[in-house]
Amino acid sequence: MKRLLRIGHRYVSLLVSIQLLLWTISGIFFAFNQIQQVRGEHVREAQPINVDLSSFKLETGPAQSVRFASRLGQPVVVVTKAGEKHYRVPSGNTVAMLTPQEAIEAVHIGTTLVAIDVEFVDKVAPGDEYRGRALPLYRVVAEDAEATQYNVYLNPYTSEIVAVRSERWRVWDLMWGLHIMDWRARDDIHNLPMKFFSLLALISGLTGIGLFFSSRRRVSSISMQSD
3-state secondary structure of 5: helix
pLDDT tens, residue order, the chain (227 aa): 666 766 766 777 788 888 889 999 999 999 999 999 999 999 999 888 887 777 777 777 788 998 999 999 899 999 999 889 999 988 888 999 999 999 999 999 999 999 999 999 999 988 899 999 999 999 999 999 999 999 999 999 999 999 999 999 999 999 999 999 998 889 898 999 999 988 888 887 787 787 777 765 554 554 545 55
Distances from the Cα of 184 to the Cαs of 1, 25, 110, 121, 124, in angstroms? 40, 19, 32, 20, 13
Measured in whole angstroms, how far is the alpha carbon of residue 174 from the centre of its chain?
Answer: 10
Structural domains present in the chain: 35-43+96-178 (3.10.450.40)
Give yes or no for a contact between 47 and 105, defined as CB atoms under 8 angstroms apart: no
Q: What is the CA radius of gyration of the chain?
A: 27
Residues in the chain: 227
The model's pTM: 0.82
